[in-house]
Amino acid sequence: MIPERDQMVFVSLEEMVPEDHFLRRLADEFPWENWAEPFKKCFKGEKEYGPHGYPVATLLKMTVISYLYDLSDKLTENYVRDNNPARYFAGLGFRQDVPDETTLCRFRSRIAQKGRDHLLKELFDRLLQRASKFGIKMGKVQILDSVHTESPIDVNKEEKVNEKRKEKGEPPEPPKDPDATWGCKGKRKRKNKDTGELEEYNKWFYGYKTHVSMNSKTRLATSILISTGKEADINAARFLLDEDRSKGIEISLVTADKAYDDGDLHMYCGKNGIFPAIALKKTRTEHKSKKLNEIWENLKSQPFYKKGLALRYRVEQKFGEGKLSHGLRTARYRGIRKFEFQSVFTFLSMNLKRIMKLADSMSHGRLRMCST
């Protein structure tokens, strides 16, 4: 009996990846080649990194994969090598070599070294512009808040090492993360072990902040600003709103927590026809002047005030998603420039997922957006 011979079947990557796969749709429905073009300036006058001169678009898309699935550079390399949809998205064929972790690291470093940070902002803004082509329209309510990201550096250990060096007469070692600072994320409550009563305490962290303006209707982050941990939230408010308005977003109401209760921001809102649904501090309504108290009490009694504050949970959900699914809880790198890279790509990846979800819902007629 003659044994059957193995037959070699030739298939293309397009046949292996379903048309409705998330990564294939990302590759087909967004102009990554055009978006990667400005990043080529970071490599001007040099050979492109990689043994075969990998296209910048491939490195950009692999970076997106890294933040979409919270993967390290090494895990991203392995994921693209072993996953056909990831290969398709990165623009790599079956037999093409995959950029290694060193190549991805150099790609990221070149952007920081060349001072091309503005390219990250431009990429972030281009994605928002693309959302309108899917029929996604922004609402008129913006939510302001900040999310903290902790540096992986053990500050207490650094202090102990420097104390020992000081005793020996040696100079202190420079900080391993020179840009990270201590910041306070407000007051928390805990039970006193001795009395059993609840007591307030300040929650401190060491690292960075991402200040965010999020559209309540679409739940897309529309503007972001990166700072050290010690920067007050209110200092970013006007910048974020100006950025939103420069992108053509009409704002009729802004909501935020007590950290944004500032006279200048209330004046800004008044001048620009924006209703400030900002949680008021006790000093507003417990002022010595009865007239001032009446003004703020009147603001609190407005239906838009309560409705605006009720929407704040949406940005907290977005921050939770960033920390649980995209690695925003801890800084991947040292230095504020490299953290900016992490923060931008984290919110970029979350916006990508949200845009695709909104586009799917609208195409199937399941989405009925509210006016907020």
The DSSP result for 282-336, as a single string, is HHHHT-S-HHHHHHHHHHHHSHHHHHHHTTTHHHHHHHHHHHHHSSTTB-SSSSH
Three-state DSSP class for 198? strand
Are residues 31 and 93 in contact, defined by beta-carbon separation less than 8 angstroms?
no
- How far apart (Å, rounded) are the C-alpha atoms in residues 36 and 332? 23
One domain, residues 217 and 315: yes
**Residue 41 shares a structural domain with residue 170:** no
- Asked if residue 3 is part of any domain, the answer here is no
Q: Which residue has the tokens 């900080």?
A: 175
| In a domain? residue 192 | yes
pTM: 0.88
Nearest one of 108, 106, 93 to 47, comparing CA atoms = 106
Looking at residue 234, its pLDDT comes to 95
Total structural domains within the chain: 2
Check whether residue 189 and residue 285 sit in a common domain. yes
Residues 161 and 287 in one domain: yes
Query: Structural domain of residue 159, as residue ranges?
Result: 137-342
Tell me the mean pLDDT per 10 residues along the chain, length 372. Answer: 54 83 94 92 60 81 96 96 95 90 89 78 94 92 96 81 75 81 82 78 90 97 96 96 96 96 95 96 80 87 94 96 96 91 96 94 58 48
Both 54 and 101 in one domain: the answer is yes
Same domain, 170 and 111: no
How far apart CA 214 and CA 222 sit, in angstroms, is 6
**Based on the domain organization, do 319 and 185 belong to the same domain?**
yes
For residues 315 and 187, membership in a common domain is answered with: yes
Q: How far apart are CA 319 and CA 322, in angstroms?
A: 5
Instruction: Supply the pLDDT for residue 5.
Output: 56
CA 138 to chain centre: 18
* 238 found inside a domain: yes
Q: Please count the residues of the chain.
A: 372
280 in a structural domain? yes
pLDDT for position 13: 80
